[in-house]
Amino acid sequence: MNLSMELINKTKTHPCYSPNAHDYARMHIPVAPKCNVKCHYCNRKFDCQNESRPGVTSNIMTPEEALKHYVNMKEKVDKLTVVGIAGPGDALANFEESKKSIELIKEYDKDVTFCLSTNGVSLPDYMEEIVRLGISHVTITINAVKPEIASKIYKYVIYRSQRYEGIEAGRIVVENQLKGLKFLAENNVLVKVNIVYIKGINNEHIEEIVQTTKALGACMTNIMPLIPVEGTVFENKPVVSQEELLKVRKKCEKHLKQMYHCKQCRADAVGKLGKSCCKKEIS
């Protein structure tokens, strides 16, 4: 992938994509409450101050509120360079809200970097629009590249108003994720792949995920430990140790650049990685 100079420069100030950008800040705008998959490890909480993990936020914003929040944070947070949409649901399952938020903020600040995180199920429907909107960085959570493994991670998938379960759900997830990844990478979008390390499910499959996504154009993989959450199918899954996590990252590093500094942030995080606060704490 031949990166444009603009994309290279944006990446230098994106703390999630560049470990050297630790002095720069990002903010997540929680404008995407709906989700189109049911993961066995996810429990979205819309009003929680006490947890710091993906899928958690203190409130949901409208696009207009997101713009107001950005204007406010731009004045208060030093070196705020990135606006991301990371939930608490899926950015593409709430595409109109995500799109309008980006357009409003871009009209106010043409220099800000936009990124979004997605499960990738709706990428075939919106990947061209992502490019048109000028979203330069996209993170796709890809926990399997084999439908039979994916089917063990997702209870169901909703795609084009149809609900799928079992192996068919796994097939749709994998096919759509990989198709979207390839298209975005071919169109000057930097794609990071998140992989949730789930013992007994995909731990022996992670290296294959890294190799497959690299071949399609991913720039980096972020192997993250499962956070067992009460009320989910995987709530009693064993916790991945730091030693186990480091071992698989080092093993996969021979194939593709690895992210070591992920903080598994909330959907309303603001600030530098590791020093983030949510909207209620900073406003």
pLDDT tens per residue across span 230-248? 889 999 999 899 999 999 9
Task: Render 74-120 in DSSP notation, one character per residue.
Answer: HHHSTTEEEEEE--BS-GGGGHHHHHHHHHHHHHH-TT-EEEEEE-S
Q: Mean per-residue pLDDT for 61-87?
A: 93
pLDDT at position 22 = 64
Q: Confidence band (pLDDT; 50, 70, 90) for 20?
A: low
Pick the more confident residue, 15 or 250.
Answer: 250
Q: pTM above the 0.85 mark?
A: yes
Q: Mean per-residue pLDDT for 207-215?
A: 98
pLDDT at position 87 = 81
For residue 269, give the CATH number of its domain. 3.20.20.70
Q: Confidence band (pLDDT; 50, 70, 90) for 44?
A: low
Q: Mean per-residue pLDDT for 24-46?
A: 86
Q: Mean per-residue pLDDT for 56-74?
A: 91
pLDDT at position 46 = 43
pLDDT tens per residue across span 83-130? 999 888 999 999 999 999 999 999 999 999 999 999 999 999 999 999
Task: Render 113-137 in DSSP notation, one character per residue.
Answer: EEEEEE-STTHHHHHHHHHHHT--E
**pLDDT, mean over the chain:** 88
Domain assignment of residue 33, given as a range: 5-282
Instruction: Return d(Cα 175, Cα 173) in angstroms, integer.
Output: 6
Least trusted range by pLDDT, from 19-23, 168-172, 224-228: 19-23
Of the chain, the percentage scoring pLDDT greater than 90 comes to 70
- The number of folded domains in the chain is 1
The single residue listed with the structure tokens 């560049």 is 18
With a CB cutoff of 8 Å and minimum separation 6, the contacts of 133 are 99, 102, 103, 114
Pair type for strands 154-159 and 162-165: antiparallel
Instruction: Return d(Cα 249, Cα 130) in angstroms, integer.
Output: 29
With a CB cutoff of 8 Å and minimum separation 6, the contacts of 96 are none
Q: Confidence band (pLDDT; 50, 70, 90) for 178?
A: very high
pLDDT at position 1 = 62
